[in-house]
Structure 1
Amino acid sequence: MSHATNQFEYVSSAMLPTRFGQFTIHGFVETSSQQEHVALSYGEWQADDVVPIRIHSECLTGDALFSTRCDCGFQLEKALQNIVEQGKGVLLYLRQEGRGIGLLNKIRAYKLQDSGMDTVEANEHLGFDADLRDYGICKLMLETLKIDKVALMTNNPKKRKALENMGINVVSRTPIDHGLTLDNRNYLRTKTEKMGHQFDPHLFKDK
């Protein structure tokens, strides 16, 4: 196993039974900030296999508190289900809440959205870029798990580009259109129109 780069370090692994299936959880840390991240792997693969993966940024409100103002929790569950159904795969869970602005600033951004701003305008009003996430640790995660080729589950083309720039062979991209609600419809539309996310356009057609 690869264990470290100048910026990131692999820490340890353990079994993680879930309601979706039996995963293994792998711990990683950013050495400069001590920010912790995890990967969940399922099944087995050979060195040349194309492995289904999802890069998922932490969203406490959606992943753990069941918020419907975003699609994060819905996508997390769908990704884990997809991995189990395909017999193998990895979820890279990155601890960069609120597209990198942190939990409390995300709550501040929510307040601005309640007053009429969209998600991009709210972040920028607080002095942040629309998306501050970094995917550098994904390279060590995939190297540690001996993965060279991936089938990426995402609606965000920036994730594909980030992996390719790191030398990861992204064989395919499949959308993960899951979790449209009345509460997040405008949020998803903004991500499509302002951030380039590639959702199925039929999701936004008026019923």
Structure 2
Amino acid sequence: MTEKIGVLGKKSPQRTGVERVVNAPLPTVYGKFQAVGYLDHDRGDEQVALIYGDIGTEDVLTRLHSECLTGDAFGSQHCECGDQLASALRAVVAEGRGIVVYLRGHEGRGIGLLGKLRAMALQAEGLDTVEANLALGLPVDARDYGVAAEILHDLGVNSVRLMSNNPRKREALVEHGIRVAETVPLLIPPCENNITYLRTKRERLDHHLPHLDAVAHLS
């Protein structure tokens, strides 16, 4: 039986807040969004929420998307992040309203770009994504979703329909006072290059990825 890895850890310390800095129109290939820029005073990160339509306050279709340069910008097939981001943006446009919070500082589940690349090098040698992080002396998942909850509070959102396969995101939002009315799966068809990574996320990090059962033929 594969050992599962707990990643919740201790409750995050009290945050000092995020500041809304700018609101600008952002036309994209998916539709015309409003980009609301924030400064996270705790970490110094610049954050952005992409808003589509009149979002309202309840049951807002929402994606908390962790920054992934390799997947989002370069189209890496090591993960499914780029496809998830595109799917989330299409989904809120199809819904007519929604939010994608793009969380900077989350690269490599919070270990940074170079840490992620080092972990990917170890994975190419046979370690899984959890083993690689631990071999480098890095946490399995160092992400904090407090800033995302603060952004949602600032936007007047009380409850969300959360596009995610990761139960930790739901738990974190609830912990920070955002009700999760529904979890909406964001399942991307796997490929030969990411199937091992995705299976590790399901087996060791408790991600809900039932569609992997249908692709047992992939190595």
Shorter chain as denominator, the TM-score bin is: over 0.9
Alignment match of 2:95 (pick from 83, 86, 91): 86
Give the TM-score, by structure 1 length. 0.93
Which structure 2 residues correspond to residues 169-180 of structure 1 after superposition, within 5 A?
A: 169-180=179-190
2:4 matched residue in structure 1:
none
1:106 matched residue in structure 2:
116
2:6 matched residue in structure 1:
none
Q: Over residues 98-155 of structure 1, what are the superposed CA-to-partner deviations in whole Å (9 max), with x where a residue is unaligned?
A: 0000001111111111111011111111111111000001122112211111000000
Which structure 2 residues correspond to residues 1-207 of structure 1 after superposition, within 5 A?
A: 6-47=16-57, 49-95=58-104, 96-201=106-211, 202-206=213-217
Using the TM superposition, give the Cα deviation of residue 196 of structure 1 relative to its aligned residue in structure 2, in angstroms: 0.3
Give the TM-score, by structure 2 length. 0.88
Using the TM superposition, give the Cα deviation of residue 33 of structure 1 relative to its aligned residue in structure 2, in angstroms: 2.7
Using the TM superposition, give the Cα deviation of residue 179 of structure 1 relative to its aligned residue in structure 2, in angstroms: 4.2
Note if contact 2:16-2:42 (Cα within 8 Å) is conserved in structure 1. no
Structure 2 residue identity aligned to 1:114: A
Structure 2 residue identity aligned to 1:173: T
What RMSD over aligned residues (CA atoms) do the two structures have, in Å?
A: 1.3
Using the TM superposition, give the Cα deviation of residue 177 of structure 1 relative to its aligned residue in structure 2, in angstroms: 0.4
- Any unmatched runs of 5+ in structure 2? 1-14
Structure 1 residue identity aligned to 2:27: P
Q: Distance in 2 between matches of 1:80 and 1:183?
A: 24
Instruction: Give identity over the alignment, percent.
Output: 45
Q: Per the alignment, in what secondary structure is the counterpart of residue 186 of structure 2?
A: coil
Q: Which moved more, 1:59-68 or 1:171-180?
A: 171-180
Q: 1:176 to 1:93 in 2, by over 3 A?
A: same
Note if contact 1:139-1:163 (Cα within 8 Å) is conserved in structure 2. yes
Note if contact 1:75-1:179 (Cα within 8 Å) is conserved in structure 2. no
2:7 matched residue in structure 1:
none
Structure 1 residue identity aligned to 2:208: Q
Q: Which moved more, 1:193-202 or 1:63-72?
A: 193-202
Q: Distance in 2 between matches of 1:45 and 1:59?
A: 26
Aligned residues: 202
Q: Per the alignment, in what secondary structure is the counterpart of residue 61 of structure 2?
A: strand
Structure 1 residue identity aligned to 2:177: G
Structure 2 residue identity aligned to 1:82: A
**Runs (4+) off by over 2 Å:** 201-207
Note if contact 1:113-1:122 (Cα within 8 Å) is conserved in structure 2. yes
